[in-house]
């Protein structure tokens, strides 16, 4: 095997890596602090499109994780970047929260329900029948279908919640049109994140707790990948997949010495 370059830049998932059910993972604060002290380029990634980076900065700060706003990259930002590159100055009908609408506004998009170029589906806790019906009709009339991420469920203290992937499946069933998913495991999200910090995949690593999103996206983007066992994937699950992470560690605390 070709020897890889030393890791200079880090991407890390948020839920299951830095925090679990609202509680910081042991060693996460040390890892982030060491990245900042060393001046290493890094981003904290999330497929959740509901929140702006400023929202997430505050949420992380409340549990003792000092992550600057500019070091947070969401599927909403990745979606806005993708659309700005593909179709700058476009129009969109959006189902989602402030994280998505703010990113699109900042990219110069106009949000409208009148002959939009795109229907964009993101995360929200208030999916409405009226909004979904409008989206279906606009797609049938020719709007292109984009979704921020393919996650079928999201976590809550009460159990699983339907997420973007599940709602996208409903729209697909009604229209016969598949969306283009921008978020993980699409390596496009990794590429846009690396571009955002001026990093190269050959000298970058991705840390995640899921084989099917974090590890797969990092692998396909050409990065080193580290699976932590503090989230959804257990050690017993790894063998079910036809690919492997570069390394499996108990938690992010085991990676501090690599910075």
Positive or negative, the CA dihedral 73, 76, 191, 207 is: positive
Annotated active-site residue in 15, 117, 212, 214: 15
Instruction: Choose among 99, 146, 102: nearest CA to 125.
Output: 99
The yes-or-no answer on residue 13 being catalytic is yes
Compute the distance between CA of residue 150 and CA of residue 152 in angstroms, rounded to an integer: 6
Annotated active-site residue in 13, 117, 209, 214: 13
Non-local (6+) Cβ contacts of 11 within 8 A are 42, 43, 45, 73, 190, 193, 194, 204, 205, 206, 207, 218, 223
Residue 50: both structure tokens together: 């509901």
The yes-or-no answer on residue 141 being catalytic is no
Residues acting as catalytic residues:
13, 15
């Amino acid at each position: 095997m070709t020897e890889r370059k030393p890791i200079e830049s880090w991407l890390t998932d948020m839920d299951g890596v830095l925090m679990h059910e609202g509680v910081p993972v042991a060693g996460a604060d040390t890892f982030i602090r060491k990245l900042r002290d060393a001046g290493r380029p890094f981003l904290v990634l999330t497929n959740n499109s509901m929140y702006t980076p400023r929202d997430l900065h505050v949420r992380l700060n409340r549990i003792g994780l000092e992550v600057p706003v500019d070091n947070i990259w969401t599927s909403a930002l990745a979606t806005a970047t993708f659309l700005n590159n593909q179709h700058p100055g476009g129009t969109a009908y959006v189902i989602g929260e402030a994280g998505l609408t703010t990113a699109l506004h900042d990219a110069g998009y106009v949000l409208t329900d009148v002959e939009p170029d795109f229907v964009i589906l993101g995360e929200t806790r208030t999916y409405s029948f009226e909004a979904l019906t409008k989206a279906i009709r606009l797609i049938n009339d020719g709007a292109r279908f984009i979704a921020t991420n393919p996650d079928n469920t999201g976590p809550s203290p009460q159990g699983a919640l339907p997420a973007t992937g599940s709602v996208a499946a409903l729209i697909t069933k009604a229209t016969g049109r598949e969306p283009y998913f921008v978020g993980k495991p699409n390596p496009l999200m990794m590429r846009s994140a690396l571009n955002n910090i001026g990093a190269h995949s050959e000298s970058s690593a991705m840390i995640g707790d899921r084989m099917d999103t974090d590890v797969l996206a990092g692998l396909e983007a050409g990065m080193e990948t580290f699976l932590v066992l503090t989230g959804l994937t257990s050690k017993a699950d790894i063998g079910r997949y036809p690919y492997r992470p570069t390394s499996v560690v108990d938690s992010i605390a085991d990676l501090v010495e690599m910075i």
